[in-house]
Structure 1
Amino acid sequence: MSTSPSDSPPLKAANEATTYSVDSSSTDSLPDRAVFDPILLPEDSYDVDGTYWADLPFTERVRFVLNYDIFVEGKRELGEIWADAKKNPFSPLITYFKSAVLPGAGLGLEGYVLFSIGNIKPLFKAVWKECWDTHGVCDARWVNSIEYLEVAGIMVGQILVGIQGDWVGRKFGLVQDAVIMFLGLVLLTASWGTSLNGWVICYAWCLFIYGIGVGGEYPMTATMSMESRTGTGVVSTKEDRLHRGRSVTSAFLMQGWGQFWNVVVLMVVLLIANGSGHPPYSEKAVQIAFRVSFAIPAIGTAALVWHRMFLKNTNQELDTQKKKSKVTGYDLESLKLTFTHFGGRMFATAGTWFANDVFFYGNKLFQSEFIKVITPDDHSVMTGWKWNLVNVSVSMVGYYLASLLIDNKLYGRKRMQIVGFMFDFILFIIPAFAFKYFTSREHIYGFQAMYFLSSFFNQFGPNSVTFLVAAEVYPASVRASAHGFGAAVGKLGAVAAAILYSYIDTQTKFYVVPWFGLAGAIMTWIWLPDTTGLDLSEQERRWRYIRQGRGEEYCGVAVHKNHLSLWERWMGIGKQYNPDRDYKMKISEMRAEWEEGRSKVKEGHAEEGCPIVWNEHVEAYFQRTAGRPADHDVIEHTTAEITHVNEKHQ
């Protein structure tokens, strides 16, 4: 918040008001800035002079961010972890389980199963070659349809459940997803046929059913993890501003753990069932391996259904925002306005997800080719799984590093995605033009390093960021729908990679795929806003202005240039940014919310709303000034008054 020099002392005093210890009888004497600054100018986003972190000069911004993130918030979190650990050594693990593992359990289970499909395919080819390889007894179209039906089911789930999540509610979508995934896993475990071709057909349709549940996990997990930390109304929460990205990506990275444990389980089960990890493999061993590998996540998914049935407050943010907009059912008006006002964002979140999935799934599809290059004389399925385990382990480092830095205001979402896309572009374009050089035995380690680094930067970049921003840059009323749409377009990238890789050789893949990384970086740079450090309640404020047809009147930080895309700035959005005016508007809005709640209680409708109380000082202030009009200038107070408050409460 920009201020004149004469404003600095009052603002500084007001920030210091956060440490006041006052009795209720003294709150009436607090001037307005001392009442509202601790709420409207939180210390994690504003300096002592009331300047928003993104308005600070670069060196001061760096100093402010590093000081608060490391020496204030970092110290606080580590202190809490240490204090809890002294009481119970397992407390940090329990906290991590509740905050990341449980919210991301659905994605962990689907990651396990979906990547199991690719992992067991070489095993099927080794035992039933006439069906899965030469197609002598199986229809090649049905064998190839396995991947396409799986992706089709996911896309149906992403769009359908995304709409349901905004229409019926988050909890309904979460429970429904788990039930469908459980049903799909039971069918996959028991899949059979009177012939190999009949079994392939059954297997393909079971994957389609399972895929519907998987697709719904994307918008539901993202919105649930995101909204669990948000504030409602004018005032936001520190957890939302500082750790929203970490909350979502911590749940998302469970997908990586799912991939990891799938490889481990398959290796152990095959060793036990076959007596060896090397060929020949018996049909019985393969039957045991793939059915047990599906039965294990079925048990976990059944537990997930039970857990989600008892979740509470999952719809709180959605219900609050719908209530403020006086909407029941599905908010079609917001959907239309989203395409009108956030069309560039729709293009960015869907387009970059498409580009990323060409890389992400292309990387998985290309993995067998990579293994052939580095181990030309080894045809063991176990060898492929070992290299897959290495690749997933490298990816996990990227997942966790993304979670660690995605909320950092000096790096954040947008830079992370651009850097990740550009590294993937570079790491694929280099071997494209020197393929024989890097695939020769004497330079094979360089080829390995580039392939594994591409996996690392995919997770420490677009794969993590696209999952977050596809929900984050939209209002709550259409958040799940927008995320589902972006994810579904992304899956078209997976289909494109599968089709493309079927017709081109290994070197040509390196010629073609890098350009999707470059395209993703360009789309991110032009059309994607950077929401790092922006609280969602502020974004919802802007959205309410847009719904009321007064979008140009909003002048808060949601239209700060740092939180808008390059395209939006070209379109003139953000010119109205005015922190001083916005401060006054926020107080007016807080008063309006307080008055509305108080009137409902007086009318005997306490169940519909109650007086909003931010703290005792605000309550006393609104009680004292109840007769003043909501648009009255509540800002002007003399330096002497502020000084008096400081001297009284120091």
Structure 2
Amino acid sequence: MARDQLGVLSALDAAKTQWYHFTAIIIAGMGFFTDAYDLFSIANVTKLLGRIYYTHQGAPKPGTLPPNVSLAVNGVALCGTLIGQLFFGWLGDKLGRKKVYGLTLAIMVFSSIASGLSFGHTSKGVVTTLCFFRFWLGFGIGGDYPLSATIMSEYANKKTRGAFIAAVFAMQGFGILFGGIVALVTSTIFDHVYSAPTYAVNPEASLVPQADYVWRLILMLGALPAAMTYYWRMKMPETARYTALVAKNVKQAAEDMAKVLQVEIGEEQEKVDKLTVRDSNNFGLFSKEFVKRHGLHLVGTCTTWFLLDIAYYSSNLFQKDIYTSIGWLPPPSEMNAIHEVFRVSRAQVLIALCGTVPGYWFTVAFIDYLGRFFIQLMGFFFMTVFMFALAIPYDHWTKKENRTGFLIIYALTFFFSNFGPNATTFVVPAEIFPARLRSTCHGISAASGKAGAIIGAFGFLYASESKNPATRDAGYPAGIGMKNTLLVLAVCNCLGMFFTFLVPESKGKSLEELSGENEEKSTDKISEHPTASNKTLPV
């Protein structure tokens, strides 16, 4: 039996789109802009790090990062992100979203700057300090996932909630694009001002002392957008749903929302007190009641995000290796060190413009019309199709005349990951769980995704190595080859389709209706098919 909805929450659900909605999108979205910039900009400079710090004799392959170093540089931030998602997700439910929201941004700003100032007398020292600061950078980034998603879902109205949450996440696309542009501009400036001998077989011959500034500047500039929004993030009021449903202070919630909604909202503390006494929804995360009501939902959000990120992060972090394997990027011996950064960054920008950024905003435009379930299922389906299309005729794509076709299909894979599960896996966990567990459950789901990203990043680097010792990078064990690696990623996407059926459709419903917080007692059960949106969720 449904309870009467609190007036302040009804006002939020029915509120017309106002300026405060867009303000919240920008404030929360700039965190994700920074997240993407910091996580993916490392892909633009890893080859340069190899040229600068591993050109000495005794390196497995002079001018190339050794396997363990490459894994650490690419994966350590993901490890920090996973821990940050779990920690700040839990903290956001315990202390409130706003109290810890500014802390994540401060950690990102400090760690971005510190990454560029990495120090040491030896190459090992520099890389060690870089990895240390990138771990803490990932820790701050991890906190932004559950907090930004939860804050946006609790601010939004139920009609356009999906678009608002997706718009926050879509800023990730601009972060990837901006990271590529910054690397392009920086490398162009240094390449023209400090010219070096090109086409040198010896990597040291194509280096200039100023090359060390390039990667440092690229990493440090990621702090700017985060620092610019810190003040406004700290001025945001606590969400009304946390204040009313978790802190049980409806008066404060009404006052906070009256300012942003510009309406008068009556006090209903007596109603909250009565609901608190007879509340049947005070079950914990590890209780049988939670497993009964939301256990399959949490399994669905965790597995789909896990499977998606295996494919998504391995493809993003190792774009440069994919481009090199098909011959789109020339070998290092044909470029000077800074020009190599330019070529890698240019490839990233082209893919971002053609596939990544449009995909995000297609989701924003259609998520509240097509629904989360349809978009996620469609995205996984096309990612599977396109990945198989790259993998099965892989030898065909390595021929020079066919490289354009490869890049088009590769860009479409990114398009449908973002107009698909990469966006919806972020949106849904912020909608379907109770307010007192919402941030925690989103953090668990996101951390599952990062576990997939770590497997994808670490596994891809080894698995994609050629089985032929003559063509394999020194220091790397024999892998299964690029073709078979792409096949594995295709299978992951295919599995994601099946696990999508565990995730309920949340389009057009209030958060309390989805989580069961406006229900006293019900014996109704939701249909196992998530598209049955006309039925009540389990409570």
TM-score under structure 1 length normalisation: 0.66
Q: 355, 364, 369: which one pairs with 2:321?
A: 369
Alpha-carbon distance in 2 for matches of 1:529, 1:486: 15
Are 2:74 and 2:317, in contact at CA under 8 Å, matched by a contact in 1? no
Asked if residue 263 in structure 1 is aligned to residue 180 in structure 2, the reply is: yes
Conservation of the 8 A alpha-carbon contact between 2:50 and 2:63? no
- 8 Å CA contact 1:267–1:385 kept in 2: the answer is yes
Distance in 1, matches of 2:450 and 2:487, equals 22
Deviation of residue 129 (structure 1)? 3.5
Where does residue 320 of structure 1 map in the other structure?
244
Cα offset for 1:96?
Answer: 8.7
Instruction: Provide the C-alpha distance between the structure 2 equivalents of 1:365 and 1:298, rounded to a whole number of angstroms.
Output: 20
2:380 corresponds, among 421, 436, 443, to 421
Asked if structure 2 preserves the Cα contact closer than 8 Å seen for 1:175 and 1:308, the reply is yes
Matched, 1:245 2:198: no
Quick check: 1:354–1:491 contact (8 Å CA) kept in 2? yes
Report the counterpart of residue 537 of structure 1 in structure 2.
512
The Cα shift of 1:140 comes to 5.2
Describe the shift of the 1:447–1:141 C-alpha distance in structure 2 as closer, same or farther (beyond 3 A).
closer
| CA–CA separation in structure 1 for the residues paired with 2:20 and 2:356 | 24
SS of residue in 2 equivalent to 1:543? coil
Does residue 359 of structure 2 align to residue 398 of structure 1? Answer: yes
How far is 1:433 from its partner? 1.9
Residue 97 (structure 1) shift: 6.1
Q: 1:164 aligns with which of 91, 96, 99?
A: 91
- SS at 1:333 equivalent: coil
AA aligned opposite 1:159: L
Of residues 349, 352, 358, the one that matches 2:310 is: 358
Contact preservation (8 Å) 2:47, 2:65: no
1:178 deviation in Å?
0.9
Residue 142 of structure 1 and its aligned partner are, at CA, apart by: 4.4
| Structure 2: stretches of 5+ with no match in the other structure | 199-204, 249-271, 333-339, 464-479
Which residue, 523, 529, 532 being the options, matches 1:566?
Answer: 529
* Residue number in structure 2 paired with 1:407: 368
1:431 Cα deviation (Å)?
2.8
- Contact 1:344 1:567 survives alignment (8 Å): no
Q: Contact conserved, 1:186 with 1:295, CA < 8 A, in 2?
A: yes
Are 1:521 and 2:472 an aligned pair? no
- More displaced, 271-280 or 382-391? 271-280
- Measure how far apart 1:126 and its partner are: 3.0
Kindly, what percent of the aligned residue pairs are identical? 25
* Alignment CA distance shift 1:516-1:194 (3 Å): same
For the aligned residue pairs, the C-alpha RMSD in angstroms reads 3.4
Q: Tell whether the 8 Å contact from 2:51 to 2:62 is kept in structure 1 after alignment.
A: no
Whole-angstrom distance in 1 between the partners of 2:9 and 2:47 = 58
Give the letter aligned to residue 514 of structure 1. A
Aligned pairs for 1:36-185 within 5 A = 98-130=23-55, 134=61, 141-185=68-112
Q: Aligned equivalents of 1:205 and 1:455: distance in 2?
A: 30
Q: Following superposition of structure 1 onto structure 2, how do residues 592-631 of structure 1 map, counting pairs within 5 Å?
A: none
Contact 1:127 1:281 (8 Å CA) reproduced: no
Amino acid at match of 2:517: W
Once residues 476 and 446 of structure 1 are traced to their aligned partners in structure 2, the CA distance between those partners, rounded to angstroms, is: 47
Larger radius of gyration: 1
For residues 272 and 264 of structure 1, the distance between their equivalents in structure 2, rounded to whole angstroms, comes to: 12
Distance 2:104 2:152 in 1: 16
CA 1:95/1:440 → structure 2, altered by over 3 Å: closer, same or farther? farther
C-alpha distance after superposition, 1:498-529 (max 9, x if no partner): 232113311111221101111101111x2111
| Pair 1:487-2:449 in alignment | no
Q: In structure 2, do the counterparts of structure 1 residues 305 and 283 end up closer, same or farther at CA, with 3 Å as the change threshold?
A: farther
1:230-281 Cα shifts (integer Å, max 9, x gaps): xxxxxxxxxx222101111111111111111111111111222232798575
Specify the alignment match of 1:468 in structure 2: 427
Q: Is the 8 A contact 1:124 1:286 kept in 2?
A: no
Counterpart in the other structure of 1:455: 414
Aligned equivalent of 1:438: 397
The answer on whether the counterparts of 1:138 and 1:196 sit within 8 Å (CA) in structure 2 is no
2:293 to 341, 344, 353: 341
CA distance 1:285–1:40, shift in 2 (3 Å): closer
Shift of 1:385: 1.3
CA distance in 1, matches of 2:54, 2:192: 21
Cα–Cα, structure 1 residues 267 and 533, in superposed 2: closer, same or farther, change >3 Å?
Answer: same
Measured in 1, the distance between the counterparts of 2:71 and 2:537 equals 53
CA–CA distance in 2 between the matches of 1:347 and 1:176?
29
How far 1:475 moved relative to its partner? 1.4
Contact 1:267/1:382 (CA < 8 Å) preserved in 2? yes
Name the SS of the counterpart of 1:103 in structure 2: helix
Distance in 2 between residues matched to 1:101 and 1:441, nearest whole Å = 43
User: Which structure's relative contact order is higher, taking Cα pairs within 8 Å and 6+ residues apart?
Assistant: 2
Q: What are structure 1's unaligned runs of at least 5 residues?
A: 1-35, 46-72, 81-93, 230-239, 578-650
* Equivalent in 347, 362, 372 of residue 387 of structure 1: 347
Cα deviation digits, residues 70-108 of structure 1 (max 9, x gap): xxx9xx98xx9xxxxxxxxxxxxx889625322211110
Alpha-carbon shift at residue 137 of structure 1 (Å): 11
Residue 308 of structure 1 deviates from its aligned partner by 1.9
Other structure's SS at 1:319 match: helix
Q: Is the 8 A contact 1:112 1:261 kept in 2?
A: yes
Whole-Å Cα distance in 2 between the matches of residues 421 and 211 of structure 1?
Answer: 26
The change in CA–CA distance for 1:40 and 1:184 in structure 2 (over 3 A counts) is closer
Render the CA deviation track for 1:574-618: whole Å, top value 9, x for unaligned: 5999xxxxxxxxxxxxxxxxxxxxxxxxxxxxxxxxxxxxxxxxx
